[in-house]
Structure 1
Amino acid sequence: MEGTSVLRLLALISLLSRSTNQVRLTVSPSRSQFFEYESVTLICEDENRSDGWTVRRNTSRGNGTECVWWGISAGSTCKISYLFEHDTGLYWCESMSGSSSSSSSIQLSVSGGSVILQSPVLPVMEGDDVTLSCRAKNPTHNLPAAFYKDGSFIGDGPSGHMTLLHVSSSDEGLYKCNISRHGESPSRRISVKGKHPTTFSLHRRLVCHLLVVCPYFISTLLMLSLFRQRTKANDPLVSEEMTSSFRAGQGLDDVYENVISDVTTEHHF
């Protein structure tokens, strides 16, 4: 019982720690649509600033292939010097240690046309303002543009920009833009997510959970110690103490299961 309780407490701490140390894929320049022959740098980042990650992708040229087959790899960074339309696809970070750890995937689109829509790479948070930019390949300065959502006109941007204020789930959809005499951009889906708990909030929950678990853990150890002492002395109260120790250990197990369920639910929110 003692060894099992220790292992479960350590597993709880490990789970909570992993929930605040996620790897993420960042894109530079930070946009999801590119013209052919432009360059892009993909970077896997985690809180430990480790190099134990590789960028993989699914495209028309292959699924799950590593950066070394289609880009220039340097640690956890991958650069594509010249983009082509066949580079359109899903990109993500994956652990090089053989574990199942990975980041969320990002959709990158490469257009052979003359207009692209610049929008956030990652899903946006509910309540945030989101700026969309319509960009022509030539000339490169900003031109007036019309913006569309799910095929319906939503407004003009005299300088090629449009801002969606305080986005919500109703703003999710496929967006595109059009510049007169230049053409139309490929469509880009914008997803809206609810606010995630901050790192501070998760750390605070870790402390609260430990404050709940530790008293049961300590009391179990004390009772087990008392049980062993009385066993050596052949005390007739051994049976009663053994029952109390078992109940305390069971209480710890129940608290552990409730905490794990709570944390797992929050982590996958």
Structure 2
Amino acid sequence: MKPSESGVESVSNNGSNYLINPLKPFDSGEYWCESDTGEYSNTVNITVHGGHVILESPPLPVTEGHSVTLNCRYKKTPSDLTADFYKDGSLIRTESTGVMTIPAVSQSDEGLYSCRHPELGRSPESWMTVTGATPSPPSPFTGTKM
């Protein structure tokens, strides 16, 4: 999202990083970057809440077979948090960097995700929808001439 579209008065640009201050729940949404040449980055869905921990997840839905990265962050400063990742309320793994990657998403990965830092608290849950992979076009017939 371009700063002019964010509706936020206090936006500071530090190179390719943007700081929105103060951050409010209505700042939740889909964010992306645009280069000087008009190219767009991948989007990220960010939910803002009153707590200190946020879960950055890809925009919905994700395609089966693709890689997905979930990032657990402390909202005031960029940081590498040791975080527990949960799916549907159950602990699935702990990552010392606060980043969890699912190399090839499948339908069984669909569900509610959250993360928790032992001292800073838990993020809100975020639903991840997984859609089927797009089928490849049929290969052309490679018969012999008669």
Question: What is the match of residue 36 of structure 1?
Answer: none
Report 1:103-114 matches (<5 A).
109-114=47-52
Deviation, 1:166, is 1.1
Residue matched to 2:12: none
SS at match of 1:110: coil
Look up the SS of the partner of 1:120 in the other structure. Answer: coil
Larger radius of gyration: 1
Structure 1 position 191, deviation (Å): 0.7
Q: What CA distance in whole angstroms lies between the structure 2 residues aligned with 1:155 and 1:192?
A: 20
Give the Cα separation in 2 of the matches to 1:114 and 1:123.
Answer: 26
For 2:77 and 2:29, locate their aligned partners in 1 and report how far apart those are by CA, in whole Å. Answer: 27
After the TM superposition, which parts of structure 1 deviate over 6 Å for at least 4 consecutive aligned residues? none
**Structure 2 counterpart of 1:148, from 67, 86, 97:** 86
Tell me how far 1:176 sits from its aligned partner: 0.1
| Identity over aligned pairs, percent | 44
Equivalent residue for 1:80? Answer: 7
- Equivalent position to 1:164, from 78, 98, 102: 102
Higher helix proportion: 1
Deviation at 1:196, TM superposition (A): 3.6
Give the drift of 1:193.
1.0
CA drift at 1:139? 4.6
Offset, 1:80: 2.8
TM-score, normalized by length of structure 2? 0.64
In the alignment, the residues of structure 1 paired with residue 81 and residue 46 of structure 2 have an alpha-carbon distance, to the nearest angstrom, of: 23
Greater strand content = 2
Pairing of 1:120-131 with structure 2 (within 5 A): 120-131=58-69
Q: State the Cα distance separating 1:123 from its structure 2 match.
A: 1.1
Give the Cα–Cα distance (whole angstroms) in 1 for the partners of residues 106 and 92 of structure 2.
Answer: 16
Q: Distance in 1 between matches of 2:45 and 2:58?
A: 11
- Could you list the per-position Cα deviations for residues 197-221 of structure 1 after superposition, in whole angstroms to 9, with x for gaps in the alignment? 69xx6xxxxxxxxxxxxxxxxxxxx
Shift of the 157–181 alpha-carbon distance from structure 1 to 2, 3 Å rule, reads same
What runs of 5+ residues in structure 2 fail to find an aligned partner?
9-19, 31-43, 138-146
2:119 is equivalent to residue 181 of structure 1: yes
Q: Closer, same or farther in 2 for the Cα pair 1:109/1:155, shift >3 Å?
A: same
Amino acid at match of 2:24: F
Deviation by residue 1:155-206 (Cα, 9 ceiling, x = unmatched): 00111111112111111000000011111101000111123469xx6xxxxx
8 A contact 2:45–2:57 mirrored in 1:
no
Show structure 1 runs of 5+ residues with no match.
1-27, 29-40, 43-71, 73-77, 91-105, 202-269
Matches within 5 A, 1:1-269: 28=1, 41=2, 72=4, 78-81=5-8, 83-86=23-26, 88=28, 109-196=47-134
Any idea what the Cα deviations from partners look like across 1:49-68, whole Å, max 9, x if unmatched? Answer: xxxxxxxxxxxxxxxxxxxx
SS of the aligned residue for 1:170 comes to helix
SS of residue in 1 equivalent to 2:59: coil
